[in-house]
Amino acid sequence: MSLTLDDADHRLLAVLQNNGKASLQELAEAAGLSQSPCWRRIKRMEDAGLIRGYVARLDPKGLGLHALAYVFVTLIDHREETIAGFGRLVAREERIVECASITGSADFILKVAAKDPEDLETFLMKGVLATGMVRESQTHFILRQTKTRSPWPLL
Protein backbone atom coordinates (compact mmCIF):
# COMPACT_ATOMS: atom_id res chain seq x y z
CA MET A 1 0.00 0.00 0.00
CA SER A 2 2.73 2.44 0.93
CA LEU A 3 4.37 3.20 -2.36
CA THR A 4 7.29 5.48 -2.93
CA LEU A 5 6.59 8.76 -4.66
CA ASP A 6 9.16 10.79 -6.53
CA ASP A 7 8.97 14.40 -7.60
CA ALA A 8 7.11 13.59 -10.80
CA ASP A 9 4.43 11.75 -8.81
CA HIS A 10 4.12 14.73 -6.49
CA ARG A 11 3.66 17.05 -9.42
CA LEU A 12 0.98 14.80 -10.86
CA LEU A 13 -0.84 14.68 -7.54
CA ALA A 14 -0.57 18.42 -7.12
CA VAL A 15 -2.31 18.92 -10.44
CA LEU A 16 -4.93 16.25 -9.84
CA GLN A 17 -5.81 17.66 -6.43
CA ASN A 18 -6.70 20.91 -8.13
CA ASN A 19 -8.14 19.57 -11.32
CA GLY A 20 -9.32 16.00 -11.41
CA LYS A 21 -10.22 16.36 -15.05
CA ALA A 22 -6.75 17.44 -16.15
CA SER A 23 -5.92 15.85 -19.49
CA LEU A 24 -2.92 13.60 -19.92
CA GLN A 25 -1.39 16.36 -21.97
CA GLU A 26 -1.53 18.87 -19.11
CA LEU A 27 -0.38 16.22 -16.67
CA ALA A 28 2.52 15.24 -18.86
CA GLU A 29 3.64 18.86 -19.12
CA ALA A 30 3.43 19.40 -15.39
CA ALA A 31 5.35 16.24 -14.62
CA GLY A 32 7.95 16.75 -17.29
CA LEU A 33 7.22 13.38 -18.82
CA SER A 34 5.32 12.16 -21.85
CA GLN A 35 1.83 10.82 -21.68
CA SER A 36 2.43 7.10 -21.46
CA PRO A 37 4.50 7.04 -18.26
CA CYS A 38 2.15 9.62 -16.77
CA TRP A 39 -0.77 7.40 -17.41
CA ARG A 40 1.04 4.45 -15.86
CA ARG A 41 2.01 6.39 -12.75
CA ILE A 42 -1.53 7.58 -12.21
CA LYS A 43 -2.91 4.11 -12.72
CA ARG A 44 -0.41 2.81 -10.19
CA MET A 45 -1.49 5.38 -7.61
CA GLU A 46 -5.13 4.68 -8.26
CA ASP A 47 -4.63 0.94 -7.90
CA ALA A 48 -2.68 1.43 -4.69
CA GLY A 49 -5.60 3.37 -3.23
CA LEU A 50 -3.56 6.54 -2.90
CA ILE A 51 -5.92 8.18 -5.34
CA ARG A 52 -9.29 7.30 -3.89
CA GLY A 53 -11.32 8.66 -6.73
CA TYR A 54 -12.49 11.79 -8.44
CA VAL A 55 -15.34 13.96 -7.23
CA ALA A 56 -17.11 17.18 -8.06
CA ARG A 57 -16.71 19.95 -5.51
CA LEU A 58 -19.98 21.74 -4.89
CA ASP A 59 -20.74 25.08 -3.32
CA PRO A 60 -22.79 24.49 -0.16
CA LYS A 61 -24.43 27.93 -0.41
CA GLY A 62 -25.57 27.12 -3.91
CA LEU A 63 -27.18 23.97 -2.55
CA GLY A 64 -29.08 26.03 0.01
CA LEU A 65 -26.88 24.92 2.88
CA HIS A 66 -26.57 28.16 4.78
CA ALA A 67 -25.83 26.73 8.21
CA LEU A 68 -22.59 24.87 8.82
CA ALA A 69 -21.24 24.03 12.23
CA TYR A 70 -18.66 22.03 14.10
CA VAL A 71 -20.21 20.07 16.92
CA PHE A 72 -18.35 18.45 19.79
CA VAL A 73 -20.01 15.37 21.10
CA THR A 74 -19.44 13.46 24.31
CA LEU A 75 -21.18 10.11 24.49
CA ILE A 76 -23.33 9.06 27.42
CA ASP A 77 -21.03 6.10 28.05
CA HIS A 78 -18.32 4.18 26.22
CA ARG A 79 -19.81 0.75 25.84
CA GLU A 80 -19.13 -0.86 22.50
CA GLU A 81 -22.80 -0.82 21.73
CA THR A 82 -23.10 2.92 22.27
CA ILE A 83 -20.07 3.64 20.12
CA ALA A 84 -21.35 1.39 17.34
CA GLY A 85 -24.78 2.96 17.54
CA PHE A 86 -23.31 6.40 17.22
CA GLY A 87 -21.25 5.21 14.27
CA ARG A 88 -24.41 4.07 12.52
CA LEU A 89 -26.05 7.40 13.26
CA VAL A 90 -23.13 9.23 11.66
CA ALA A 91 -23.17 6.96 8.64
CA ARG A 92 -26.91 7.34 8.19
CA GLU A 93 -27.34 11.07 8.60
CA GLU A 94 -26.33 12.94 5.48
CA ARG A 95 -26.23 16.26 7.30
CA ILE A 96 -23.16 14.98 9.11
CA VAL A 97 -20.52 15.51 6.47
CA GLU A 98 -17.47 14.82 8.59
CA CYS A 99 -16.81 12.94 11.80
CA ALA A 100 -13.66 12.17 13.70
CA SER A 101 -12.91 10.81 17.14
CA ILE A 102 -10.46 13.10 18.86
CA THR A 103 -8.30 13.61 21.89
CA GLY A 104 -9.51 16.00 24.56
CA SER A 105 -12.60 16.22 26.68
CA ALA A 106 -15.04 15.39 23.85
CA ASP A 107 -15.26 12.06 22.06
CA PHE A 108 -16.12 13.24 18.56
CA ILE A 109 -16.12 16.29 16.43
CA LEU A 110 -18.75 16.52 13.72
CA LYS A 111 -19.13 18.87 10.84
CA VAL A 112 -22.79 19.40 10.13
CA ALA A 113 -24.53 21.04 7.20
CA ALA A 114 -28.13 22.23 7.21
CA LYS A 115 -30.42 24.58 5.36
CA ASP A 116 -30.43 27.22 8.08
CA PRO A 117 -29.81 27.53 11.82
CA GLU A 118 -33.30 26.32 12.57
CA ASP A 119 -32.85 23.22 10.45
CA LEU A 120 -29.54 22.59 12.15
CA GLU A 121 -31.02 22.97 15.61
CA THR A 122 -33.89 20.63 14.75
CA PHE A 123 -31.47 18.06 13.40
CA LEU A 124 -29.24 18.20 16.46
CA MET A 125 -32.17 18.01 18.88
CA LYS A 126 -34.18 15.32 17.18
CA GLY A 127 -31.55 13.55 15.14
CA VAL A 128 -28.67 13.45 17.55
CA LEU A 129 -29.48 14.39 21.13
CA ALA A 130 -32.84 12.64 21.26
CA THR A 131 -31.16 9.29 20.55
CA GLY A 132 -29.97 9.24 24.15
CA MET A 133 -26.43 8.42 23.09
CA VAL A 134 -25.03 11.89 23.77
CA ARG A 135 -24.23 13.25 27.20
CA GLU A 136 -22.97 16.62 26.07
CA SER A 137 -22.59 18.61 22.90
CA GLN A 138 -21.15 21.96 22.01
CA THR A 139 -21.98 23.67 18.74
CA HIS A 140 -19.72 26.15 16.96
CA PHE A 141 -21.41 27.78 14.02
CA ILE A 142 -19.19 28.55 11.07
CA LEU A 143 -19.21 32.26 10.36
CA ARG A 144 -16.87 32.20 7.43
CA GLN A 145 -15.00 29.44 5.75
CA THR A 146 -11.60 30.77 4.76
CA LYS A 147 -10.06 27.53 3.56
CA THR A 148 -12.18 24.62 2.44
CA ARG A 149 -11.18 21.11 1.60
CA SER A 150 -7.91 22.30 0.25
CA PRO A 151 -5.37 19.88 -1.21
CA TRP A 152 -3.29 17.76 1.14
CA PRO A 153 0.29 18.97 1.56
CA LEU A 154 2.90 16.91 -0.25
CA LEU A 155 5.72 16.96 2.26
Residue ranges in contact with its own copies by CB under 8 A: 1-3, 5, 13, 16-21, 48-60, 62-65, 68-70, 87, 90-91, 94-104, 106, 108-109, 113-115, 119, 138, 140-155
Please enumerate in sequence order all residues whose Cβ is within 8 A of that of 89, keeping only pairs 6 or more positions apart, or say none: 96, 127, 128, 131, 133
Examine residue 51 and tell whether it contacts DNA (CB under 7 A): no
Pick from DNA, its own copies, none: which does 122 bind, CB < 5 to 8 A by kind?
Answer: none
Q: Determine if 25 is a binding residue for DNA (CB under 7 A).
A: yes
Residue nearer to DNA on the CB measure, 55 or 100: 55
Given 17, 18, 40, 122, the residue binding DNA (CB under 7 A): 40
CA proximity to 142, closest of 68, 58, 65, 63: 68
Does 37 help bind DNA (rule: CB under 7 A)? yes
Report the DSSP beta bridge partners of residue 79: none
CA angle, 105 as apex, 88 and 75 as ends, to 5°?
30
What's 12's DSSP letter? H
- 35 interface partner picked from DNA, its own copies, none, CB below 5 to 8 A per type: DNA
* 60: amino acid identity, one letter: P
Instruction: Please give the Cα distance from 67 to 121 (Å, whole number).
Output: 10
**Residues in touch with DNA (CB under 7 A):** 8, 22-25, 32-37, 39-41, 43
